[in-house]
Amino acid sequence: MLGNGAEAAPIPQISIERVPTLERALFDQSAGTRAAIKAGVVGVLLSWILPFLGLLVTGSLAVYFYRRERGLILPPRMGSRLGGAAGLVTFTLTFLVFVVVLFGMHGQQAYIDYLLKSVQTIGRDPTDPDMQSAAHFAATPVGIGLTYLFGAAISMLLAAAGGALASVMFRHRTRN
């Protein structure tokens, strides 16, 4: 009872999953950056061994590293963002190696030959002029830039899915 005859309203329960600004406020940016970089570096090796599955694991590792450092379980939305950042780190590091080999070691012709061999593997004719021009375009700076954008998007999506899954799995594991 308050002095004027009105009763005090109960304090509402705030769920962190429903308040995105609170969610972001509780997220430690520097710990998240460290977790994404660590997972991204490990992800380079994983993605070379297991190309697509390695990226899912990379996103999961980012959430695990963050949880280990901060002791907090991330909601799936934040786990997805952290995983996506780790996927971007993985792809960028891998792509830098690719660009150094391609341009620094003059590997354009080897890259074109690899692309044409890949075309033949999927059942297309590598001597087709359209395939030849597409392979040559892929070895130009514009083609490589498009390859980066497409590869980065795929890597971020796969790692984000891994981060979201890890957040859900860690959450259920600690509730039991």
> Which is higher by pLDDT, 60 or 171?
60
- At residue 5, the pLDDT reads 58
Measure CA of the first residue to CA of the last residue in the chain; give whole Å. 39
By CB atoms closer than 10 A (0-12, 13-18, 19+), residue 89 is buried
Confirm if 87 and 59 have CB atoms less than 8 A apart. Answer: yes
Q: What are the tens digits of pLDDT across the range 51-67?
A: 899 999 999 999 999 99
Q: Which of 48-62, 68-82, 94-108, 149-163 has the lowest mean pLDDT?
A: 94-108
Domain boundaries, the chain: 29-175
Q: What are the tens digits of pLDDT across the range 103-147?
A: 888 888 888 888 888 888 888 888 888 888 888 888 888 988 898
Assign 11 a pLDDT band (cuts: 50, 70, 90).
low
- At residue 20, the pLDDT reads 47
Q: Residue 81 has which token pair?
A: 């963002």
Q: Which of 19-33, 130-144, 145-159 has the lowest mean pLDDT?
A: 19-33
Q: How many residues does the chain have?
A: 176
- At residue 21, the pLDDT reads 45
Read off the pTM: 0.74
